[in-house]
Amino acid sequence: MSWKEEWKWLAGFAAVFFALYFLPVGTPRFDGALNEALELAKWYTREHVLLCLVPALFIAGGISAFVSQASVMKYFGAKADKVLSYGVASVSGTILAVCSCTVLPLFSGIYKRGAGLGPAIAFLFSGPAINVLAIVLTARILGFEMGSARALGAVVFSVVIGLAMHFLFLKEETKKANDQADLPVPEAPRPLWQTVLYFAAMCGVLIFANWGKSEETSGFFYAIYSVKWILTSLSAAAFAVILVLWFGAKASKLAWAAAAALAAGFLFRGMPVVPFSVGFIGLSWAISGEEGELGDWFAASWDLAKQIFPLLIGGVMASGFLLGRPGHEGVIPSAWVAWAVGGNSFAANFFSSVVAAFMYFATLTEVPILQGLLGSGMGKGPALALLLAGPALSLPSMLVLRSVMGTKKTVAYVSLVVALSTLTGMVYGALF
């Protein structure tokens, strides 16, 4: 018996005992915070999980299955066209729904396969910082200005930070380019445009299914909203055709899945979430038993679901418990938040950027968390700083990045993210 190990058990038992013994059950603030946690989780589950999270998981899984090494070398390697390389990397987040930790295997893969440091860093930042789902949720919940600023900031940040890292470590990058000069670039298994259309169709399902109701009774946004489910269905149909023609899916299985979704649509009129869910269940059934890329796609999507969903719900409940919903208070008084990140001072923006950089945000949890913070008095500038720094960084990701690209590069990357987030937050707060 190791007494040192037994003392750890005893300390753990004592900590749990005293935590339960002094648990402030019955006090208005604590009981109200528990209620806020459940209310926020209920709202988030009803409004966003099925329509937002499920298609995002399939999109993220597709990255692992359909983005090949050949594509990495062709579009991110040392011999790749720089405009194309940074352009593809900076918008890669539009087809990702991953957190700062989930993107690390993808970054490590393209970096170790020969991608330049600049494009790889642009991909690393863009992946968790900007994706269709995050932009839709941010604009829908926090306002169009915040969503637009997040999208623009993330794209610009990815290019600026990537270029800065390239020039900071130019000597190493030049050596890598020289080493790759005589290496042949292997051919991709399919043309890029086919993979792009695959992701575009999936993103179409995601975007149109979550298209918010416009306050106007006419115009472009209202017109799209009035036919959103037709556009969602057309995107899904195009997606099915793409899977059959280019990815080897069985047409008969997808036809059965489509028929089930149509039947659910007629049986549950006025409840579009039902046929939407049936359609994705049918898609899962159609590809889960397949070999090769389709099977890998489902497996990757399922692994992401197991990783993200518990963290997502846990993060939402933690946000509700700590900060409550807008107009309601959690266990932390809103005055504390207003004191730390209220206004638009340098200290408030810098504090928000640094804390966000070290916190872990599971995919999408930053939106409800920020919603609670804004309701508690957070300034708009620090809020944008958190949106830009938080999803892209976390303490676990920093530790992994250090093992992949070394201490100097990791410190440089983190410093650039924090500095740019602080500056952008101050500018945004002054404008809005």
* Percentage of the chain exceeding pLDDT 70: 83
Contacts of 234 (CB under 8 A, 6+ apart): 204
Sign of CA dihedral 379, 382, 385, 386: negative
SS3 75: helix
Burial of 368 (0-12, 13-18, 19+ CB in 10 A): buried
**Looking at the predicted structure, is the pLDDT value of residue 135 above 80?**
no
Across the chain, mean pLDDT equals 81
Burial of 50 (0-12, 13-18, 19+ CB in 10 A): middle
Contacts of 70 (CB under 8 A, 6+ apart): 185, 186, 187, 188, 189
DSSP per residue, 261-283:
HHHHHHHTTT-THHHHHHHHHHH
pLDDT band at 181 (very low <50, low <70, confident <90, very high): low
Distances (CA, A) of 251 to 117, 243, 260, 287, 356: 41, 9, 14, 11, 46
The answer to which of 71-80, 83-92, 371-380, 417-426 has the lowest mean pLDDT is 71-80
**Looking at the predicted structure, is the pLDDT value of residue 102 above 70?**
no
The pLDDT of residue 237 = 92
- Tokens read off for 42: 């209920």
One-letter amino acid of 175: K
**Looking at the predicted structure, is the pLDDT value of residue 297 above 60?**
yes
- Tokens read off for 63: 């990255």
Instruction: State the Cα–Cα distance between residues 335 and 341, nearest whole angstrom.
Output: 10
Q: pLDDT tens digits, residue range 12-57?
A: 888 888 888 888 888 888 888 888 888 878 877 777 677 777 887 7
Check: CB of residue 391 under 8 Å from CB of residue 150: no
Instruction: State the Cα–Cα distance between residues 99 and 390, nearest whole angstrom.
Output: 10
**Looking at the predicted structure, is the pLDDT value of residue 184 above 70?**
no
**Looking at the predicted structure, is the pLDDT value of residue 1 above 70?**
no
The pLDDT of residue 174 = 78
Distances (CA, A) of 406 to 151, 175, 357, 409: 29, 17, 18, 6
The pLDDT of residue 216 = 63
Which of 139 and 410 is assigned the larger pLDDT? 410
pLDDT band at 406 (very low <50, low <70, confident <90, very high): confident
In 1-60 the beta strands, taken as DSSP E runs, fall at: none
pLDDT band at 68 (very low <50, low <70, confident <90, very high): low
Phi and psi angles of residue 349, each rounded to the nearest 5 degrees, phi first: -70, -40
Q: pLDDT tens digits, residue range 312-333?
A: 677 778 777 877 776 677 887 8
The pLDDT of residue 260 = 92
Q: pLDDT tens digits, residue range 206-238?
A: 878 877 666 567 777 778 888 888 899 999 999
Which of 152 and 394 is assigned the larger pLDDT? 152
Q: pLDDT tens digits, residue range 332-374?
A: 786 776 678 888 889 999 988 988 887 766 566 677 778 777 8
Rounded (10°) CA dihedral 276, 279, 280, 286: 180
Which of 110 and 121 is assigned the larger pLDDT? 121
Q: pLDDT tens digits, residue range 154-167?
A: 889 989 999 999 88
- Residue 115 forms beta bridges with which residues? 77
Q: How large is the average pLDDT for residues 67-80?
A: 67
- Tokens read off for 216: 């106007």
Instruction: State the Cα–Cα distance between residues 370 and 340, nearest whole angstrom.
Output: 14
The pLDDT of residue 236 = 92
pTM: 0.65
